A and B are shown apart, each in its own frame.
Chain A
């Protein structure tokens, strides 16, 4: 399993328009090309997860995630906001890099937790925030993941 298999370049936004956490979640959910109702349900579920505790894990990285029946397979979107978003992160710093992960309730190969774990592990690497800041096109994110072997 390689993380790049779950990314499509349309779901990589290097300049999020959103100025708030909620709008960023909506903007990233919209990348999946679902219908409006499904977008609304996903957003609500992501918000409910955030209400349990922020997914901002520090160092400018947030990993909002949820399972929902409205998606048929695991999807990941990435958004970057260099000026930062208030994610109420653990270290109280604004989130600049957002990995959004959604998966159906039951998947044949059960990839949700391993994917969540891999993104978390990737996010902890010392040089990752700077590397994410330096991306100049979506393809470079895929290459960055490949260079880290995940």
Chain B
């Protein structure tokens, strides 16, 4: 896997966790069952995300900033040739390429970075 794609995946996973804590869905559970201080956890995640964002290369960072402007999900899984960010099929040429996830690529339709799961 391309190291920058791995970094993007990490950022995305942390942001999902942050989102769940902030909107209360996960936050209530974390605080009731696991005794987590939600506000502290959110600031700790924010710090980590900032640190990881600082490790994005110039070109990737520019695209990342474009995509984050549209919503929290920057990486979309590709399953059976469909981008699960916008539910549009990615080009068949691209879908059949080998060595997927070894390059940083993005969806022609929604711009999200693609992570092939199929």
* Chain A interface residues toward B at CB < 8 A: 37, 41, 44-45, 48-49, 51-55, 57, 63, 66-70, 72, 90, 104-106, 113, 116-117, 120
Contact = CB atoms under 8 A, between A and B. Distances in A.
Interface in B24-55: 25-26, 29-30, 33-37, 40-41, 44-45, 48
B76 to A, nearest CB: 9
28 contacts: A37-B1, A37-B6, A41-B6, A41-B10, A45-B13, A48-B17, A51-B44, A52-B44, A53-B36, A53-B37, A54-B34, A55-B34, A57-B33, A67-B13, A67-B16, A68-B9, A69-B9, A69-B75, A69-B77, A70-B9, A104-B77, A105-B13, A106-B84, A113-B26, A113-B29, A116-B33, A117-B29, A120-B29
Contacts of A51: 44
A44 B11 CA distance: 12
Given A52-B36, A69-B115, A44 B16 contact: no
B117 interface: yes
B29 A116 contact: yes
B12 interface: yes
Contacts of A68: 9, 13
Contact of A105 (B1, B12, B37, B45): B12
Could you say which of A51, A105, A113 has the most chain B C-beta atoms within 10 Å of its C-beta?
A105
A57 B13 contact: no
Interface residues on B, range: 20 to 34
Contact of A72 (B14, B44, B117): B117
A41 to B, nearest CB: 6
A44 B10 CA distance: 9
B62 to A, nearest CB: 22
A57 B34 contact: yes
B20 interface: yes
Given A37-B6, A55-B34, A69-B13, 12 more contacts: A41-B6, A45-B13, A45-B14, A52-B40, A53-B35, A53-B41, A69-B77, A69-B117, A105-B12, A113-B29, A116-B29, A117-B29
A105 B12 CA distance: 9
B72 to A, nearest CB: 9
A67 B35 contact: no
A90 B17 contact: no
Interface string B81-114: 0001000000000000000000000000000000
